[in-house]
Amino acid sequence: MNTTDNRKLKLPAEKFFIIVVLIFGVFSTFLTPPMTTGDEGYHLSYAYNQFSSTYPEAMSKPSLRVIENEAIGGVTGSTAEISIKDTIFKKVDLENDGIRLNVVNNGNSFAPVNLMHLPASIGVLLARLIYPSIGVMDYGGRLANLLFFALCFYFIIKRSKQGKWLLVMLFTVPYLMKIASPSYDIFSFIIFAMFALNFLELTQINSFKEMSRKQKLYSLATILLLLLAKKNYIFSLFALIGLPMFYNPILIRIKKIKKQTIIVLSTVMVLLVITGLVLINEKLGLIHFAKVFFNNYLNFVTMGTNARRMWMITPMNLPDFFNIIWVLLFCWVAMGEFRRVYPKWTAWSSGITYLVNWVGIFAGIYVTRKTMIAFDELSGRYLQPFIIFFLPALQNLGAKYNIQLSEKTVANIAKVSTITIMVLYLFIVFYRGFILRVKPTGVV
């Protein structure tokens, strides 16, 4: 068995993580033109108004959406006519606006309050007090979220019993575009990571009785915190059906039940499933639902840009080649750094959670677009965090084929792949944003 002992390395994984993320994040903040990291006008508006008493029109969602659309080049993709200097240095008239905390839910989480923008809101507030321009306040939100992201994931990685260098890869590259942005994704990433890593630890426990009081409280906290994150992360709860502590008691009871009773219960279950499918069919139209899903993601003639690039885990402005290499390296490290064996049902149900999230988000969009044969609303960023649920299957493969990598090897793979993609990303966003004057963080 090969596990990484960070004490043998001069630079432990969690320290490497926080150093490289902070350096990257600071460069990314200032090398990426304001309002261009994806829905940044939307997030800056919410972040600002969490500490606003009058909700000025200049900082409203419609106003900032217009600025955001111009910043990314609108329909043409060209930003040649936009003055980045004005965005940074032109002050907004906010003298009549006071400071008042507002945490009313914006509809993006199941909780009655919106805490997802709070870290960025603090940064935006400080920037507003220093120099109230759109660009500077945007930078404030980016830097605050960056610090929150780096510190939280530092402790998450340090606490984790999983392979730490794998977590460095998992918690950097898929999140690069959002690390330095005022987005609520940062808050959601952190909560989701806490839940997912705790789930992986719970897979090694066979019954509730084996859990300590601390484990029970922490597990409950990670589940409740999902209510504060983006709504789609609630689909991660599906993975819980793969915990031995849940299904083992059921299997034990089934073995004790008489054959006739099993037949009756099976019949009842089949009838319930059929009834459920009938009800779902009335709501969604399952045949049309399947056709639209196929047209969206499996038909190159009808799928849109988002679907074509859905499997991009590396930033979308990098060539696909880097995505392929990174995914292969990620799988190799996942199989060879940390040895752990999971029950087959646990590995299967964990992997299926990725599909549940995908179909669940699609269904939510589909309900409002039933008449369309295809739509291009679901991008890969909604799926990328859920690749963590493939770890049980990958680690089972590593154990089956006795794949072992030295800690120096996994550390070098993580360092080189992460730094390479970070440097390329920074170069590309700067070149596209300031030299070519086109949308820096995506494809046009």
**pLDDT, greater one: 105 or 419:** 419
pTM reported for the whole predicted model: 0.93
* pLDDT at residue 8, rounded to an integer: 60
Query: Within 13 Å and on the Cβ side, how many CA atoms surround 297?
Result: 13
Looking at residues 56-82, what average pLDDT do you find?
A: 90
* pLDDT at residue 1, rounded to an integer: 42
* pLDDT at residue 300, rounded to an integer: 83
Looking at residues 78-99, what average pLDDT do you find?
A: 92
Question: Locate tokens 């991008």: which residue?
Answer: 379
Distance between CA atoms of residues 352 and 191, nearest Å: 20
* pLDDT at residue 280, rounded to an integer: 86
Looking at residues 155-179, what average pLDDT do you find?
A: 95
Looking at residues 349-375, what average pLDDT do you find?
A: 90
Looking at residues 399-407, what average pLDDT do you find?
A: 94
For the stretch 314-341, pLDDT in tens is 998 899 999 999 999 999 999 999 999 9
The structure tokens listed for 19 are 């150093």
Residues 117-154 as b/e (b if ≥16 CB within 10 A, e otherwise) read bbbbbbbbbebbeeebbbbbbbbbbbbbbbbbbbebbb
List the domain boundaries for the chain: 6-436
> In this prediction, what percent of the chain has a pLDDT beyond 90?
73
Looking at residues 231-241, what average pLDDT do you find?
A: 96
* pLDDT at residue 348, rounded to an integer: 97
Q: Model confidence at 264, in pLDDT bands (50, 70, 90)? A: confident
* pLDDT at residue 3, rounded to an integer: 46
- Provide the mean pLDDT of the chain: 92
Q: Is the pLDDT of residue 2 over 60?
A: no
